[in-house]
Structure 1
Amino acid sequence: MIRHIVMWKFRPGTEAEQERFLSGLRALQGVVPQLLRSEVARNVGAGNYDAVLVSEFSSLEDLEAYKNDPRHKAVSALCKSIREDRVAVDYEFQEA
Structure 2
Amino acid sequence: MIRHIVMWKFRPGTEKEQEEFLTGLRNLQGVIPQLLKSEVAVNVAPGNYDAVLVSEFASLEDLDAYKNDPRHKAVSALCKSIREDRVAVDYEF
Partner of 1:38: 38
Partner of 2:10: 10
Partner of 1:60: 60
Q: CA deviation at 1:65?
A: 0.0
* Percent identity of paired positions between Structure 1 and Structure 2: 88
Q: CA deviation at 1:90?
A: 0.1
4+ residue runs of structure 1 moved beyond 3 angstroms? none
Q: Which runs of 5+ in 2 are unaligned?
A: none
Partner of 1:74: 74
- Tell me the alpha carbon deviations over residues 26-56 of structure 1, each in whole angstroms, 9 at most, x when there is no partner: 0000000000000000000010000000000
Instruction: State the secondary structure of the residue aligned to 1:47.
Output: coil
- The TM-score with structure 2 as length reference comes to 1.00
What value does the CA root-mean-square deviation take over the aligned residues? 0.1
Instruction: Supply the distance in 2 between the matched residues of 1:20 and 1:71 (Cα, whole angstroms).
Output: 14
> How many residues get paired?
93
Q: Which runs of 5+ in 1 are unaligned?
A: none
Partner of 1:25: 25
